[in-house]
Structure 1
Amino acid sequence: MIRVKKVETDQELKEAFKVREVVFIDEQECPPEEEFDGFDDESIHFIAYISGEPVGTSRYRTTDKGVKLERFAVLKEHRGNGVGKRLVQTALGQIETTIEPGTLLYLHAQVDAMPLYARYGFQKEGEMFMEAGIKHFLMKKTL
């Protein structure tokens, strides 16, 4: 059973950071200074558990453009089991209760993850770009 919750303790945040480290730094070879970009303190974080073990994470933050969803990461051995879907649902549920209708939601989607975000109404905009050596598209939706 997948359980996703808003990060509320230092231990949960530490677990979320470990998932990001494994997925983005170790697996995808993202430079640590790009992954841990200084925006964690102003972000709302989520952690996903299976059988009490941390397996996924995400965050969102308010920017001058709207609300940016970021750092969706699921450990390789748990991909395809609905963890990413639950992270998106939980983040959007939290955003819908705290952010004004009409607000722009956006994210930089890795190409492989675009179908997941499209299921929730995000639409590709613009040209593909590279971020941390990985192909991405800007995707947007209005709350």
Structure 2
Amino acid sequence: MQKEVIAVALNYERITTPEMLEDAIGVRFTVFVDEQKVPADEERDEYDDTPESCHHFLVTDNGKAIGAGRWKEYEPGVAKMQRIAVLLPYRGTGVGRQLLATMEADAKAEGYSASFLGAQCTAEGFYHKLGYETEPGEPFLDAGIPHVNMRKQL
């Protein structure tokens, strides 16, 4: 039985400090490493060195980190959404949808016209509802988890 979550003060923002980045990485480790058993050394990479390494985002509820994501350039005009994670009690509440919308708006404001992502196969339906289309090709493994490539015009 999932406990009820009452979001008090949700805030979606671009990460600007090392402390915010560490909070975001903490959310990612909870979701990907603890829950999904992704090896810890595969979760953090060179894009996590500083808040400026790519476009990092954090979702907080009354100051508590509950969601995270990042995007970077995939190819000219195309932003790659990555590491989108929401803590379990907040899943199904719209937090992930709003986080992705915030990231897409940021990419569009920076001049990008499309969004690309590698979605876990279990989340493919979620991304379809948000306007993403699955690209041709077989699912592939990323950190031992089946994924598909998806794309959306912004």
Fold conserved between structures, TM > 0.5: yes
Which residue matches 1:25? 33
TM superposition shift of 1:132: 0.8
Assess if the C-alpha contact under 8 Å between 2:58 and 2:69 holds in 1.
yes
Structure 2 segments unaligned to the other structure (5+ residues): 1-8
Q: Which amino acid aligns with 2:32?
A: F
- State the secondary structure of the residue aligned to 1:105: strand
Q: Compute the displacement of 1:100 (Å).
A: 3.9
Change in 2 beyond 3 A, CA 1:141/1:37: same
Superposed counterparts of 1:42-61, under 5 Å: 42-61=53-72
Q: Which whole-Å deviations, capped at 9, do the CAs of 1:37-84 have from their partners, x for residues lacking one?
A: 222243100001112211000000013463210000011121111110
State the superposition RMSD in angstroms. 1.6
Length-normalised TM-score, structure 2? 0.84
**Does 2:144 match 1:136?**
no
Partners of 1:67 and 1:84 lie apart in 2 by 17
Runs of 4+, deviation exceeding 4 Å: none
The amino acid that maps onto 1:136 is H
TM-superposed CA distance for 1:141, in Å, is: 2.0
**Structure 2 residue 100 is the aligned partner of structure 1 residue 88:** yes
Match of 1:114 among 121, 124, 136: 124
Structure with max Cα Rg: 2
5+ residue gaps, structure 1, are: none
Q: Which stretch has the larger CA shift, 77-86 or 112-121?
A: 112-121
Letter of the 2:57 counterpart: F
Report how far residue 5 of structure 1 moved. 0.6
Give, in angstroms, the shift of residue 89 of structure 1: 0.8
Q: How many residues align?
A: 141
Q: Identity, % of aligned pairs?
A: 35
